[in-house]
Chains A and B, each alone.
Chain A
C-alpha cells in the first residue's frame, strides 16, 4: 500500500471508513476471543464455579483444576483424612478440602511428553528430508518432476481415517503399533508434502548464481549446498519446522486410532480427562490451556509466514 501522503487518494479509505472498519473488525476479534478467554478462565475456577448458573465471570481463582489435571485422587472419609496428619503441601491441602486424597500422578504429563517427542521427532525428519528433496527439485532436472510433486501433494487429499485402516494393519505386522517411532514415521510422511512444497519455494528464491560462484571457487556441489544454500534457507527452514510441529502437535485421528497406552499423545487424551472423577471441567480447561498456549505463541511468532504455510506455498505475498 502506498503511504497516502497525498491529500486525496482514491485507494486510501476515508477516516470515517477506517473508523467503521476498525470498530467492526475489533468487535469480531473480541467475540472470537470469548471462547478462548472463557476456557482460560475456567481453568482457574473451582468445579462448582465451573457449572454455576448464570455462568460466573467473577470468581475466586484456584489452582484446583491444574492439581486435578496432574493427579489421580480418591474420595475418603473424614476420619481417614484426619488420621493422615496435617497436609504436607499446598496441593495436598487443596485436594483434602474436597474430602479427597492424592493417590498418584495422572497420565497427562506422559501424554504431553509424548506429544513433545513425537512432534519434534517428526518435525526434524520431515524438515531434514524435505530440505534435501526441495533442493533437488529446485536445482536439478528430475525426470517426472511435476508428477512426483503432484504425487507428494495428493497424499494430503486422503481422509486420515481411510489411511489409518491399512497403516493399522501394517503397523500391527511390523510391531510399530502404539510406538513413538511408528507415530514419528507416520507424521513425517504426512508432513513431508507440506515441507517439500514450502521449502521448494524458499530454495527457488535463492539465486543460483551464489552456488555457481562457489563451485567456480572449487567447492563441490554438496559443499556449495551445505555452505552456501543452507545458511540462506535458515528462515524458511525455521518457518517450515514450526508449521510441521503445529500439525504434529494438533493431529488427532491417527493418534486416536493407532495409539493407546504407550505412545498416546495429548489430543486424544484431553477428552478422557472428563471421565476421571465426574465432569471435571476445570481440569479439562487446564489441560486445554497448557496444550493450546504454545500454539498461540508460535502463531504470533509466525504471523508473517502464516499465509505461505497454510496454502502450501501457493500464496507467498
Chain B
C-alpha cells in the first residue's frame, strides 16, 4: 500500500459519510478521524522502514558501493547471493551466531525458570529482590559491553580474580582466548537477559489458578507429577514467547558483542550482524552486504513464523 492510496481512502471515507450537514455540525466523521490518526504512523513507517527495505532488496542485485557514488551501478543478478552461499566464512559466522543463540537460550531458560519457581514461593521481600534482579536487562547493551571488558581484564579484572579465588584457574583471558571468547559473550548475555525469561515464567506461574493444585492434591499427585502435568504446560506458552523474543534479539545481536569482543579473537565471536557491519561500513561492499541483510531478514522472519505456529499449537 502507498500513502497515495491511503489519502485516497481517507478522502473516500470522508465523502461517503452521509448527511454532509450533520458532519459539519458534529465535526469529523469517524472514518476521517481513523485515517487522520493512522496516516502519519503509516507514512513514517513506509518512509523509514519499508522504502529502505525495498531499496535493500534492489541493491542486493547490484554491485553498488556506497563509498564510490560516481561509479556506474550494474545489475548483476543473483551473483551476490551465490557468493554468500558459496562462502565458507559466512557459514562460520552463522555457526558462531547459532552457538550464541542456542547456548544463551538453554542457560537462560534453566536459570530463569528456576528463579521464577523460587520467587513464586512468595518469601518475604520477594518483590523487592525481583526488581533488583531485573535491573541489568534495562541497561544499554553497548555500555554493558564496555564495562564488562573492564570486568574481564585478565590480570586486574574482578571476574578472573573471583573465578581464580574459588577454582584456582589462574588468570583467565576471557576476551582474548579463542576457547573462552564465545563463552564470554554468553555469560554477559545471560547476566543481562536471564531476568527477562524469569519475569515471563513468573507471569505464567501466577496465571495458574490455585484450584488445579488443590485438585491434584486430592488426587494424591506427587510434586513431580504436579510440576509435569500442571506447572509446565501452563508456563510453556509464556516461556516460548520469551524464547521467541530473546531468540530474535540474539540472532540480531550486535551492540553488546561489538563492544565486548568486536568479533575477535580472529573471528570466533564474529556474529552475523557484526560481519554485516564490517562488509557494509568498513569494506563498503554495499550490494554484497545488502544481499546478506536480505538473507538474515528472511531467516529471522521464517524461523519466527515457524516458531509462532509451534507456539500456537502449544497454546491450544
Chain B, 209-247, CB within 8 A of any chain A CB: 210, 213-214, 216-217, 238, 241, 245
Q: Provided the pairs A53-B155, A159-B296 are in contact, do residues A271 and B48 lie with their beta carbons within 8 angstroms?
A: no
Chain B contacts for A310, CB-based, 8 A: 137, 196, 199, 245
Cα(A18)–Cα(B132), bound, Å: 18
Q: Provided the pairs A53-B155, A136-B34, A166-B52 are in contact, do residues A284 and B146 lie with their beta carbons within 8 angstroms?
A: yes
Is B300 in the interface zone, CB < 8 Å from A? Answer: yes
Q: Provided the pairs A53-B156, A292-B139 are in contact, do residues A170 and B52 lie with their beta carbons within 8 angstroms?
A: yes
Chain B contacts for A18, CB-based, 8 A: 121-124
Q: Provided the pairs A32-B133, A142-B38, A296-B135 are in contact, do residues A220 and B142 lie with their beta carbons within 8 angstroms?
A: no
Q: Provided the pairs A295-B138, A310-B196 are in contact, do residues A288 and B147 lie with their beta carbons within 8 angstroms?
A: yes
Is A246 in the interface zone, CB < 8 Å from B? Answer: yes
Mask: chain B, 4-36; 1 = CB below 8 Å from A; 0 = not: 000001000000000000000011101101111
- Distance in angstroms from A266 CB to nearest chain B CB is 8
Chain B contacts for A267, CB-based, 8 A: 140, 142-143, 255
Closest 9 CB pairs of A and B: A220-B27, A162-B293, A166-B52, A252-B142, A22-B123, A250-B140, A189-B48, A132-B37, A13-B121
Of chain A, the residue at the smallest CB distance from B49 is A155
Is B40 in the interface zone, CB < 8 Å from A? Answer: yes
The secondary-structure label for the interface of chain A is: helix
Q: Provided the pairs A152-B41, A220-B26, A288-B146 are in contact, do residues A307 and B203 lie with their beta carbons within 8 angstroms?
A: yes
Chain B contacts for A300, CB-based, 8 A: 131
Mask: chain A, 284-316; 1 = CB below 8 Å from B; 0 = not: 110010011001101110010011001100110
Is A55 in the interface zone, CB < 8 Å from B? Answer: yes
Is B79 in the interface zone, CB < 8 Å from A? Answer: no
Partner of A257, one of B42, B55, B277: B277
Mask: chain B, 142-156; 1 = CB below 8 Å from A; 0 = not: 110011101101011
Chain A contacts for B1, CB-based, 8 A: 144
- Are B143 and A291 within 8 A (Cβ)? yes
The secondary-structure label for the interface of chain B is: helix
- Are B44 and A221 within 8 A (Cβ)? no
Mask: chain B, 116-130; 1 = CB below 8 Å from A; 0 = not: 001101111111011
Chain A contacts for B45, CB-based, 8 A: 151-152, 155, 189, 192
- Distance in angstroms from B196 CB to nearest chain A CB is 6
Interface residues on B, range: 35 or more
- Are A160 and B252 within 8 A (Cβ)? yes
Q: Provided the pairs A155-B49, A284-B150 are in contact, do residues A161 and B277 lie with their beta carbons within 8 angstroms?
A: yes
Q: Provided the pairs A1-B206, A32-B191 are in contact, do residues A39 and B150 lie with their beta carbons within 8 angstroms?
A: yes
Q: A141-B34, A162-B273 are in contact. List 9 more A-B contacts (CB 8 A).
A: A18-B121, A32-B191, A35-B136, A42-B150, A129-B44, A132-B37, A246-B138, A311-B200, A311-B245
Would you list 7 pairs from A and B whose C-beta atoms are within 8 A, ordered by A residue? Answer: A55-B161, A143-B9, A155-B45, A162-B56, A271-B146, A303-B130, A315-B241
From A23-31, A74-82, A92-100, the one touching the partner chain is: A23-31
- Distance in angstroms from B107 CB to nearest chain A CB is 13
- Are B38 and A136 within 8 A (Cβ)? yes
Chain A, 260-274, CB within 8 A of any chain B CB: 267-268, 270-271, 274
Is B254 in the interface zone, CB < 8 Å from A? Answer: yes
State the B residues within 8 Å of A (CB): 1, 9, 26-28, 30-31, 33-38, 40-42, 44-45, 47-53, 55-56, 59, 66, 115, 118-119, 121-127, 129-143, 146-148, 150-151, 153, 155-158, 161-162, 191, 196, 199-200, 203, 206, 210, 213-214, 216-217, 238, 241, 245, 248, 251-252, 254-255, 259, 272-273, 276-277, 280-281, 286, 289-290, 293-294, 296-297, 300-301, 304
Cα(A166)–Cα(B14), bound, Å: 36
Q: Provided the pairs A129-B41, A137-B38 are in contact, do residues A223 and B151 lie with their beta carbons within 8 angstroms?
A: no
Partner of B254, one of A21, A38, A159: A159
- Distance in angstroms from B132 CB to nearest chain A CB is 5
Chain A, 1-35, CB within 8 A of any chain B CB: 1-2, 10-13, 17-22, 24-26, 28-29, 32-35
Chain A contacts for B216, CB-based, 8 A: 10
- Are B115 and A25 within 8 A (Cβ)? yes
Is A185 in the interface zone, CB < 8 Å from B? Answer: yes
- Distance in angstroms from B233 CB to nearest chain A CB is 17
Of chain A, the residue at the smallest CB distance from B190 is A32
Chain B contacts for A285, CB-based, 8 A: 147, 150
Chain B contacts for A65, CB-based, 8 A: none
Partner of A1, one of B36, B122, B136, B276: B122
The CB with the most chain B CB atoms within 10 A, among A42, A165, A271, is that of A165
